[in-house]
Amino acid sequence: MKKLPVKYFLNYMLRPVEESDVKDYFLIGSDEETVKFLSWYPFKHVEEAVIHFNNLYFSDEYRDEPQGYAIVDLETNRMIGVIDFHTTNKILKSAHIGYLLKKEYWNQGIITKAVEIMLEVGFKELKLEKIVVRTIKENYASRKVCEKNNFRLHNIKKNNYYHGKTRTYYDVYKYVMERKVYYDSKAKGNL
């Protein structure tokens, strides 16, 4: 796994996830509202979180992906969320970003800022050409995070995500930031 640099913003730190973070992952992912739009059900037992967390961040399948970040509250030194690159494509030099934040911390601009850092890491450290976020129409907070980071709405795919929990098809919004656009905007002071 490619290790990413530790980053600081506001009162938080992005550092590579550690196996011991699973206790906090359980707390974050056991809340029903937090996982409402995600493919999995809220954790009932810590063992479920362990399997999920290990598959996501420590399994062989993910050894070629950049290491996931834990978002850590520097006051409590606890993990309050995760943010990562996934679905990296070495030929296209692209990757997707995924994120999840503990509910008590929502709507304070934390993920907007964390995504801003991911753009910097993705283009500067990983030399990506394109960074993508996919989210469903109804996830307004996630869409707003992309918009606040000046992502371009690349397309909307109707009924492109089947959500097993609600047995519903959702429209998927694909947001893209290209390397050139990123650096041009930075030069103009728009980022």
User: Which residues would be at the binding site for ligand COA (CB under 6 A)?
Assistant: 34, 37, 99-101, 106-112, 135, 139-142, 144-145
Shortest approach of ligand COA to residue 102 CB, angstroms? Answer: 8
> What are the CA-CA distances from residue 82 to residues 11, 14, 57, 113, 152 (Å)?
15, 9, 10, 13, 23
172 forms beta bridges with 136, 157
By beta-carbon proximity to ligand COA, the closer residue of 8 and 140 is 140
Using the minimum distance from each CB to ligand COA, give the nearer residue, 76 or 108.
108
Under 8 Å between Cβ of 68 and 58: no
- Smaller CB separation from ligand COA, 139 or 150: 139
Q: Which residue number, 41 or 63, has a Cβ lying nearer to ligand COA? A: 41
Residue with smaller CB distance to ligand COA, 9 or 58? 9
Rounded least distance, CB 103 to ligand COA, Å: 7
- On whether the CB atoms of residues 25 and 79 are closer than 8 A, the answer is yes
Q: Minimum CB separation from ligand COA for residue 108, in Å? A: 5
Min dist. Cβ of residue 54 to ligand COA (A)? 20
**Burial, 65: exposed, middle or buried (Cβ in 10 Å; 0-12, 13-18, 19+)?**
middle
CB of 141 to ligand COA, least distance (A): 4
* Tokens describing residue 148: 């606040």
Cβ(170)–Cβ(137) below 8 Å: yes
